[in-house]
Amino acid sequence: MNKIKIAITLYEQILITSVTLPIEMLRAGEAFAKRHSRDSFVPLDIACLSQTGKTVKTPMGMTMDVQSNFSALTEYDYVIVPSIWRNPRPVVTNNPQLAKSLSEAWHQGATLIGVGTGVCFLAESAILDGHSATTHWHYAKQFSKSYPNVQLKPDYFITQSDRIYSVASLNALADVVVHLIGLFYGKEAANHVQQNFSHEIRKPYEEQRYLEGAVDRHSDEQIAAIQFWLKNNANSISSLSDVAEQFNMSYRSFNRRFKSATGKTAINYVQEVRIQQASELLSSTNLSIQDIALTVGFSSQSQLSRAFKEQMNQTPSSYRQIVRKKLFS
């Protein structure tokens, strides 16, 4: 049976939660998919690797088992490089094989996820040269000095450059893991994991990241302007043909260009914006579901409920109950 192979690198001074959190979330996504998508289910093979292939003792006194050494990274599809307590420089120096193995794995097609100061290992390998990255805010200045060829984006919690992700915090790591679960097992599994692990309501991964090359991937400036307008006027749109006319486009051309630029139809885009706005109101206000439906642009509570369940796999009322428990318990 094919497997999705995921490696997590271990070393001294490791931040334990940047290891345990992604493992627990990934296993939760895997368990959900196994129950609901048996025909297309692909299991995960998650392993921990170290410099010597021997167990690693963490700063908290815990010992973590290891399955192999860093030279085996080329066998994996995804590699998570956890964060480091305090100054990362001694840890980078004491684990010289890791940077080399990360470079080899990446060149053979692996996707790399660097967490906090663990991003130093990706920078050390030189695969980040000329690319964007982020790191823990406390180490940002030193990172820029140590790796001047990396385009550091300290104002972003997440960056993505093709198959290289970097995250600045554990919350951002959780968002990337939810994104990966969506890639592996679909939106339903991703929503399930997010609802059970997130301790606050967060924006979708796609809205938080700095996506390198995003302008090149979507260079239609007029459609970008329309997206901005739709996001700010989703509650008052009665006809997309009127929107097309407002921007001096035929409806046919509008639909074709929107789908080509964004990968989704304008109708689906507006629907997603309205659901996101409804989610925020459900979590932060006491408005009735009927009032929320009308506020974000749906014609009725039932229309919102159908669309919400289709996209979020639960009703607005159950979503409100879950998120308000998380926010106010």
Contact predicate 122/103, CB 8 Å: no
In this predicted structure, what is the pLDDT of residue 210?
74
What's the whole-number mean pLDDT along residues 95-114? 96
In this predicted structure, what is the pLDDT of residue 279?
87
Contact predicate 226/258, CB 8 Å: yes
Confidence of residue 215 (pLDDT cuts 50, 70, 90): very low
C-alpha dist (Å) from residue 109 to 73, 102, 112, 164: 11, 11, 10, 11
R_g of the chain, CA atoms, integer Å: 22
Confidence of residue 201 (pLDDT cuts 50, 70, 90): low
Q: Is 0.75 topped by the overall pTM?
A: no
Contact predicate 166/114, CB 8 Å: yes
In this predicted structure, what is the pLDDT of residue 216?
41
Q: How far apart, in whole angstroms, are the C-alpha atoms of residue 38 and residue 36? A: 6
